[in-house]
Amino acid sequence: MSFEMQGDELHAEGVSLAAIARAVGTPAYVYSEAALRSAADAFTTALAGVPRARRMFAVKANPNPTILRTLARLGFGADIVSGGELALALQAGIAPKDIVYSGVGKTPGELATALAAGIGRFNLELEREGEVLSALALARCVRAPALLRVNPHIDAHTHAKISTAMADSKFGIAYGEAAAMYGRLAALPGLDLHGVAVHIGSQITDLAPLRATYRRIGQLIARLRAEGHRITHVDLGGGLGVSYRDGEPAMDMAAYGAMVVQETQDWGVTVLFEPGRFIAARAGVLLTRVLWVKPALPHPFVIVDAAMNDLARPALYDAWHEFSAVQATPDRFVANIVGPVCESSDIFARARVVDRVREGDLAVFHTVGAYGAAMASTYNARPLVPEVWVEGARFAVIAERLPAAAVRPHRLPEWTASRAVARLA
């Protein structure tokens, strides 16, 4: 295990978390290189039976350059959803051909920049996007490589806010409209349309909706080929779930790999995968310090120095993150774990049995390597917390603590009169 007790103190690999707290303060994200590599290897092994499998890390899960560089060395490309993520992926040394651009709101400027960079492909989310991309490509005398993202209208059986394939979802092209739209887009001179993409949601632990999705995609592939279209690549997205609490199921990767082989073996395509959470979630903890233990009925409030701006998932999704003391304690108690932000939603746990902690104690929230620091903000003018990388017995700060004012510098207004005001003057 990458985060475990050594003696009476929690460590990240060979480094005491108390030592990290002394060096960089709290709160702070701490990542384990060994945990990240272990998850990446597990994903790769599970898909070893899939010919021409390509792994593209979902940058939105954790865009830290050290994370991206490490995964690039392990053979991962990047799934991006913004121009900023494109820049980060390229800076991390990921080859443009190994980048796929997803998302419903790519601007014309972002499309042009990604096209100029020579990325591997665009996942188109609407017909107009394809038309704009075709025109941009023609202006550069190139053809833009693209897939059409399809919405199969399948319930992923996950949280409503991370489900992306129901009929009312903003993502993808309705399954019933996909074949006709594919034909129209394939005829555009600036597009090299050569396959389809799908992603039905996140934190999926049940194979059934994924199997149903892949079968629908297989039927679509057969139809498109029958209509004369070239299908060489299929992007199956990501969304594989991990366990956030003791006893909670995670995706059975051996079973998933076997299912993918079974469902895709006759497709004759390169299959792309976009893992994010599965790779990064268990590689990180959020190190925090107890500020106060406030007596209350029926349960006391443990007020820590981490807050919803540092870790937004509990406030957004009622997400569960295990909470444990850094220093071993034999005692447990029932408490509410809360942060200092001035919002009633700044609550990490309600009426939960946790390690008994006291004022000044160090503690951690587990399984925060995905969508932790990536979703952080400076709400309440709080600084962005540092991120720390651990390899064996050494550690390094890979993102500095950044005050809110440094993120968005403020200045006094420099007034400019509008034309209407100027005329009145």
User: Annotated catalytic, 342?
Assistant: yes
- 3-class SS of residue 347: strand
Which tokens in the block code for residue 216? Answer: 């629908």
Neighbours of 269 (CB within 10 A): 18
Q: Is 293 left (phi over 0), alpha (psi -120 to 50) or beta?
A: beta
Planar angle of CA 20, 26, 29, nearest 5 degrees: 70
Neighbours of 169 (CB within 10 A): 15
Which tokens in the block code for residue 245? Answer: 């609490």
Which tokens in the block code for residue 130? Answer: 């394809």
Q: How far apart are CA 1 and CA 243, in angstroms?
A: 15
Place of tokens 């909670």: 248
Q: How far apart are CA 382 and CA 313, in angstroms?
A: 17
Which tokens in the block code for residue 197? Answer: 């993409």
Burial code (b: 16+ CB inside 10 Å, e: under 16) for 182-198 equals beebbebebbbbbbbbb
Task: Report strand pairing: 284-294 vs 301-304.
Answer: antiparallel
Task: Report strand pairing: 332-338 vs 347-355.
Answer: antiparallel
Which tokens in the block code for residue 318? Answer: 């009622």
Q: Is the peptide bond before 298 cis (omega within 30 degrees of 0)?
A: yes
What is the number of residues in the chain? Answer: 425
Question: Which one from 48, 342, 393, 412 is the annotated catalytic residue?
Answer: 342
What's the Rg (C-alpha) of the chain? 24
- 3-class SS of residue 364: strand
> Cβ(25)–Cβ(401) under 8 Å?
yes
Calculate the alpha carbon distances from 377 to 21, 79, 311, 372, 397 in Å: 21, 22, 9, 10, 19
Residues ≥6 apart with Cβ < 8 Å to 353: 332, 333, 334
Neighbours of 294 (CB within 10 A): 12
Q: Which residues does the annotation mark as catalytic?
A: 342
